[in-house]
Structure 1
Amino acid sequence: MITVLVRVTHGPEALAATLSALVPAVAAGLIGDAVILSDRQDEILAQVADAAGATLVVAQGDSWTEGAKVARRDWLLCLDDGDIPQEGWIRVLDRFVALSKPERGLARMRRQRAGVVNAFLNLFARSSIRGGDLVHRRVLMNEVRAHMPVRLSATIERDPVFG
């Protein structure tokens, strides 16, 4: 099982879109819990988190690390609100988590972006954690150094409403 960390920047509607896309993975037994990360206290986000059975964390700065501190599982799927995993992602992540050692540390889902933007991000952001990454807690807590990310055959897209 994994914990999902969802970083909120677009508001409760984008958060709801992402959380609803995760329901099949909860039913399949892949996702065990969720942590919602916000840079400010927000009553509506608190209500959405409560309704989803998620934990809301208000974090300034490196919100992924703050989320890792309260996560219940060792493998963490980092998402931005508005991210929607595409067909087949549950099987791919389940297999990776089952077969990978913590030292492997970091896997990256493919994003459907313009070619130049994707190439730029892959070149200059290899070791930084971003939405769509599956990362071991020890990597986020700086207990082990992440190797080059494993490229997963799963795809993640942005809900077009939230860019």
Structure 2
Amino acid sequence: MITVLIRASRGPEALAVTLSALVPAVAAGLVGDAVILSAGQDETIAMVADAAGATLIVTHDRSWALGVKAARRDWLLCLDDGDIPQEGWIQALERFATFGRPDQPGRFKRRSAGPLRALAQAALALVGRDRDCSGELVHKRVLLGELKPRSSVSLAAFIERDPFFA
């Protein structure tokens, strides 16, 4: 089982879209819990988190750190609100969580991702800033700094951002 970390910055509607996409994985026994990282105090986001049975953490930066500490599972699926995993994602994550190496994250393919996103990821890595793990299945030990991450493995599944929240 995995924990899903969701950064909420686009509002409760975007959060609800992402949470509803996770329901089949909860029913399949893959997702055990969810942690929502909100950029500020928002009563509606708190209500959505409560209705989903998720833990809500208010954080004033875009770091995953507080969510990692609240996660109950070793493998963490990091998403931004508005992200929607596409067909086949549950099986891809199950295989990766079972056979993947803890020091090697698995990354969803993004149809809308271009060279600018890859360049931004490389720049963050060079300056040593908090990695942007959005769209990755990452072992908790990597995000806690206990393991040095290797390059990501491409998962056999896609993730898209709902165009309304792009």
Task: Judge which range, 65-74 or 108-117, deviates more.
Answer: 108-117
TM-score (norm 2): 0.90
Deviation string 1:57-81 (CA, Å, 9 cap, x unpaired) is: 0112353111000000010000000
Q: Which residue of the partner structure matches residue 24 of structure 1?
A: 24
Deviation string 1:15-42 (CA, Å, 9 cap, x unpaired) is: 0000000000001111000000012111
Confirm whether residue 117 of structure 1 aligns to residue 120 of structure 2.
no
Could you tell me how far apart the structure 1 residues matched to 2:59 and 2:114 are?
32
Q: Which residue of the partner structure matches residue 88 of structure 1?
A: 88
Instruction: Count matched residues.
Output: 162
TM-fit CA distance, 1:125: 5.3
TM-fit CA distance, 1:43: 1.0
SS at match of 2:64: helix
Identity of aligned pairs, percent?
Answer: 59
Q: Structure 1: any 5+ residue segments left out of the alignment?
A: none
Could you tell me how far apart the structure 1 residues matched to 2:160 and 2:120 are?
15
What's the Cα RMSD here? 1.7
TM-score (norm 1): 0.92
Q: Which residue of the partner structure matches residue 70 of structure 2?
A: 70
Confirm whether residue 150 of structure 1 aligns to residue 128 of structure 2.
no
Deviation string 1:60-117 (CA, Å, 9 cap, x unpaired) is: 235311100000001000000000000000000000001123233x111111125433
Mark the CA change 1:36 to 1:119 in structure 2 (over 3 Å): closer, same or farther: closer
TM-fit CA distance, 1:120: 3.0
Q: Which residue of the partner structure matches residue 34 of structure 1?
A: 34
Could you tell me how far apart the structure 2 residues matched to 1:85 and 1:113 are?
13
